[in-house]
Amino acid sequence: MSDVVLTESMQEPRITRTRPVWLSFGLLVPFAFVVVLGVAVWAPQWLSACDPEAVDPNAILLPPDGQHWFGTDELGRDLFSRVVYGTSQSLTIGIGATLIASLGGIVLGTMAALAPRPIGRLLLRIIDILLAFPEMLLALLVIAVLGRGPANTLLAVGLASIAGYARLIRSQVLQIRLSGYVEHAIALGEHPWTIIARHIVPNAIRPLLILATVGVGSSVLSASALSFLGLGVVPPAAEWGALLANGRNFLDIAPWTSLLPATVVALSVISITLLGRRLQTLLATGDLR
């Protein structure tokens, strides 16, 4: 009996291997789609050899086929090529608007947390008022003041999103201000601006980086919605929202002119959002295998 026990105890432990979370199917699919979007931005000619502005009177409103994967529009232009080349403008607006919202949120949220109490409470009320309005409504108000165009669309979407980022930064700054290393820096006599720039802001923006990743998808969707309404980028620009706006006039005879670009917009927003939320989960659990 003792031999049996000894033999069993000497057996090597069974090693259970788990698949790394970065290789999960739910992450690889959106990651692959985002990689394709990156290729469309930096090297669109790798995905489509057609000129997005080339007009062909003999290929007007052709359905999708082997030559024109997304069909053609009312001028005979290849829709797949226009979607590919429009990726750069759409993602530029989305990323630029997110940067504006992030930077504005850092400044406004830090001031609301560290300013003297009357000023801080006033800024907090301004943030609450902005959060009470839908972001699209705020973006429409900015467009009404500044006018249409890619730059104004970027600015409108960015300014409309500042309040959410500011609220997050304010809560983070309030927590970090009471931490041990900040109190230690104060005890050592460091200048307040040095403490803010070196200790508070760098630690406060960490959760904002994850929120900004998710926010890119939301900004792309908002910019496309403004262009679809005719208040953002307007045709003949090959921007996703402008393509949707242009194709809605032919939904009854050529539904692919809007449905296929809309599918790309939806898949892009979903993929970017899934990546951001998965990254947020991995950082929260510390499981980055």
Q: Which of the two residues, 160 and 198, has the higher pLDDT score? A: 160
Tokens 């033999």 appear where? 7
Identify the pLDDT of residue 124. Answer: 92
Q: Which CATH number fits domain 90-285: 1.10.3720.10, 3.40.980.10, 2.60.130.10, 1.10.10.10?
A: 1.10.3720.10
Length of the chain: 289
Q: How far apart are CA 132 and CA 121, in angstroms?
A: 17
Q: What pLDDT does residue 283 have?
A: 64
Residue 127 near residue 108 (C-beta atoms within 8 A): yes
The pLDDT tens digits of the residues spanning 274-284 come to 888 887 777 66
In this predicted structure, the answer to whether residue 82 has a pLDDT above a threshold of 90 is yes
Q: Decide if 119 contacts 111 (C-beta within 8 A).
A: yes
Give 13 or 59, the one with higher predicted confidence: 59
Whole-prediction pTM: 0.83
Name the residue with tokens 């262009």: 227
pLDDT tens per residue, range 232-280: 887 778 889 989 988 888 888 999 998 999 999 999 999 988 888 887 7
The pLDDT assigned to 186 comes to: 78
pLDDT of 5: 45
Q: How far apart are CA 67 and CA 54, in angstroms?
A: 14
Decide: 89 and 241 in contact? Cβ < 8 Å: no
Torsion angle, alpha carbons of 35, 41, 46, 52, to 10: 140
- In sequence order, the β-bridge partners of residue 72 are 78
Q: What is the pLDDT of residue 12?
A: 46
Among the ranges given (68-82, 222-236, 271-285), the one the predictor scored with the smallest mean pLDDT? 271-285
